[in-house]
Amino acid sequence: MVTTHSVRTIRVALPSAASVPVLRAETINSINACLSDYSLELAFATKVTDADLAVSTTINGLFDCAKAGFKGHFLVWTHEPRYNTSRNSIISVPHLSDKVHIMNVYTGDVFTTPLFYFPFTKLDIENSYGRAPGVFMGTYRSYFEEYTPSGEFVDLNIIRQNLALYLRDNLGFELYGPGYPKHLGVTEAGRTGDWQSIKRKILSRYSFNLALENTNTKYYVTEKIWNAIECGCVPIYFGGNSGIEEIISNRSFIDASQFESFEQIGDYIKSLGKADVKEYVRSGRKDWSMILKNFSPNNIRHERIRFFAAKIQMIFG
């Protein structure tokens, strides 16, 4: 006689259709394949009031569900370090009827590798030493709300912006982005149109690219360093706690975390000759080929889904 187990369906509410990247119609089957071992499955609720679980990238999104009459469990799931900064996997939030479960870059169950944003495409751009010195692409802000939990150094926003201005003034780097004071003469560039194609065209004109993240934490490695390598630039990156050296050589990027001042970074860049720049680019291309050979985007996506499924099992199992 075959024993069958009933499957419990967890109905999920989202504050908006694009609020949680892992929860899309095309990923539900993969999530449910992981949940099948626990006799659980996910389905999207037709009404918020019918849902068992509300999932959002922000606490505010959960408030939207609560205002609509939701009475179940809450989960914040985000890969953006500033959307949620909790270091705890479960927190209490005033005015929400249940505790909030957290999955973010600090709880360690969102990224399992620095390759999450790696594009897994073949390289087709070679470096030319005759390029302009360097470039930074990013928004200028006159004020940053600094994030340093328990004195831990993770916030790179101020360092990134000030280093960009230093390299502009002392090494001739060019800046692209909105919000800069007019007297700096910065070229306005925003995420409009086919932004990735526009960005590649810009990067391919420069030898160096300042590619620091806004936050330095384990495995939070976005497209910035990969875009630089892809376009034949030498990335100036902040290794620190990112885990980037688990994947690529320290000869594939200039690690800003290893210098004590902007002046030291600038002097080091000035000291590099044509052969040095070519070696950085060659090393980056070699690492890129190694990644394509040894890693699979499907496996990385599966790990992401597996962690999400484990959280669902923990909440409802």
Q: Directed axis angle between helix 297-316 and helix 25-35, to 10°? A: 60
Architecture of the domain whose range is 132-294: 3-Layer(aba) Sandwich (3.40)
**DSSP secondary-structure letter at 36?**
G
pLDDT of residue 193: 65
If one compares 174 and 148, the residue with the highest pLDDT of the two is 174
Judge residue 180's burial from the number of C-beta atoms within 10 Å of its C-beta, 0-12 exposed, 13-18 middle, 19 or more buried.
Answer: buried
What is the number of other CB atoms lying within 10 angstroms of the CB of residue 261?
A: 9
In the predicted model, is pLDDT for residue 128 greater than 60?
Answer: no
What is the pTM (predicted TM-score) of this model? 0.90
Buried-exposed string 99-108: b where 16+ CB fall within 10 A, e elsewhere = ebbbbbbbbe
* Structure-block tokens of residue 74: 């809450």
What are phi and psi for residue 106, nearest 5 degrees? -95, -25
Reduce the DSSP state of residue 79 to 3 states and report it. Answer: coil
pLDDT for position 24? 79
State how far the alpha carbon of 187 is from the alpha carbons of 80, 137, 140, 223, 246, in Å. 27, 10, 12, 21, 35
pLDDT at 134 over 90: yes
Instruction: Output the six-digit token pair for 255.
Output: 């690690």
Predicted confidence band at 198 (pLDDT cuts at 50, 70, 90)? confident
Q: What is the pLDDT of residues 170-196, one digit of tens each?
A: 999 999 988 888 888 787 766 566 778
Instruction: Indicate the range of 36-45, 194-203, 211-220 predicted with least confidence.
Output: 194-203
For the chain, the domains span 8-111+297-316, 132-294
Identify the pLDDT of residue 299. 92
Q: Tell me, what DSSP letter sits at residue 274?
A: H
pLDDT tier at 129, thresholds 50, 70, 90: low
pLDDT tens, position by position, 278-307: 999 999 999 999 999 999 999 998 898 899
Residue 4 pLDDT > 80: no
Cα Rg of the chain, angstroms: 22
The mean predicted confidence, pLDDT, of the chain is: 90
Condensed to tens digits (0 to 9), the pLDDT of residues 234-290 reads 999 999 999 999 999 999 999 999 999 999 999 999 999 999 999 999 999 999 999
Maximum alpha-carbon separation in the chain? 81
Question: Is 71:50 a contact under the CB 8 Å cutoff?
Answer: no
Round to whole Å and give the CA distance between 2 and 60.
47
Indicate if the pLDDT at residue 1 is higher than 90.
no
List, for residues 63-112, the tens digit of each pLDDT value.
999 999 999 999 999 999 989 999 999 999 999 999 999 999 999 999 99
Domains 8-111+297-316 and 132-294 share a fold: yes
* 50-76 residues labelled b (16+ CB within 10 A) or e (exposed): ebbbbbbbbbebbbbbbeeebebbbbb
Contact 160, 148 (CB under 8 A): no
Q: Which fold has domain 8-111+297-316?
A: Rossmann fold (3.40.50)
Q: Are 40 and 31 in contact (CB under 8 A)?
A: no
